[in-house]
Each structure stands twice: as C-alpha cells, then as structure tokens.
Amino acid sequence: METESTCPAETLLKLLSGKWKPQIFKLAVEGPLRFNSLLRQLEGSNKQSVAVALKELEEQGLLDKTIIKLKPLHIEYNLSEKGKTMIPVFMQLENLA
C-alpha cells in the first residue's frame, strides 16, 4: 500500500504526471478553460488525450467542470479549491525549470 507524501511538491508531481496535465494545469492557473481552446493551445495534442487528462485532473480534485447551459451548450474547467492550494507549489517548481 502506497503512503501519502507530506511533501507538497512530490504530491503535485504525482498528480500532474501524465501527458498534457502540467500544461493544462498551467493554463487553468491563468483562467477558465474550454475544450476547443485547449486543443488549439496544446500544439500536437489530440481530442482523446486532452479529454483523458481533463477527466483525470477532475477526478483528482484539481479541476472543477462547469456545464454552462447557453446555446450552444459549453463546458468550462476551472481550478478547484484544492487546485488553487497547489498554485504556489506549481510556481516554485516552474521556477526551477
């Protein structure tokens, strides 16, 4: 059985491991995300891989999915409260790169 890390950086790295997840998280820090906009911003991405990454980030509690009932219907992804707590850790890791 895996034990939970007490190191915020290690926790965030585990949560963001996977294709497109770090880039999506970085874009979510800047503001709400829409699927087609993400596809345009993530050069070389495809619908399936981005959809999987969004679903995993939502399941991990880093993103909230909001269905906006306008015509046409659209979905926005925003950082959740848990995701917002990870911003300082993410910024520190980004500054190391």
**CATH code at position 82:** 1.10.10.10
83-96 tens-digit pLDDT: 999 999 998 888 77
Look at residue 3 and tell me if it is in a domain.
no
Phi-psi region of 56 (alpha: psi -120 to 50; beta: other; left: phi over 0): alpha
φ, ψ dihedrals at 17, nearest 5°: -70, 135
Q: Is 76 in a helix, a strand, or coil?
A: strand
Interacting residues of 6 by C-beta distance below 8 A, sequence separation 6+: none
Range of the domain at 91: 8-96
Contact indicator for 79, 28 with CB cutoff of 8 Å: yes
Number of domains in the chain: 1
| Whether the predicted pLDDT of 4 surpasses 60 | no
Interacting residues of 13 by C-beta distance below 8 A, sequence separation 6+: 93
57-85 tens-digit pLDDT: 999 999 999 999 988 888 999 999 999 99
